[in-house]
Amino acid sequence: MSDAENPEEDYLQTFVEQIKFTGQVWGLSSPEDGWAYCVSDNGEETDVILFWSSEELAKVHQNDEWKDHIPTPVDLDTFIDHWLQGMDGDGVLAGPNWDINLVGLELTARELADEILHQEDDSES
């Protein structure tokens, strides 16, 4: 079920489905610069850390300012229990499965955790 008017929702659904299947979330990291992030488009001075559901999707973004970043996996349990909790405390947003043009949803850590946990509930029904 695709929403042609809001592909970002499709990116989120794909993200959640794939990370549940693989048990991993991918980001781009660099020892010098940390994790790949963008400044939010919401008008506030908020960072958005980008995450992808596969190494291949992360690699697509390994260019320009992130050419020295390395696709790095994070275990799903660690992502939920540590990353998202820390991001929530820091007020940092999550950008799941942004496309090559850096278009995608900006979610609070709680919103993303709810999406992941909701997907778990749906798959057990």
User: Digits of tens for pLDDT over the chain (125 positions)?
Assistant: 444 567 888 899 999 999 999 999 999 999 999 999 999 988 678 999 999 999 999 999 999 899 999 999 999 999 999 999 999 999 999 999 999 999 999 999 999 999 999 865 554 44
CA–CA separation, 84 vs 96, rounded Å? 12
47-51 and 93-96: which strand pairing? Answer: parallel
pLDDT of residue 34: 94
| Predicted local distance difference test score (pLDDT) of residue 87 | 97
pLDDT of residue 5: 64
- Residue 40 corresponds to which amino acid? S
Find, among 88, 87, 112, the residue nearest to 98 by Cα: 112
- Amino acid 3: pLDDT: 45
Tokens of 52: 């992808």
Tokens 């992030």 belong to: 37
Tell which residue, 51, 30, 33, 24, has the closest CA to residue 106.
51
Fold of 7-120: Trna Endonuclease; Chain: A, domain 1 (3.40.1350)
Q: Determine if the pTM surpasses 0.75.
A: yes
* pLDDT at residue 62 in the model: 95
Residue 115 pLDDT: 95
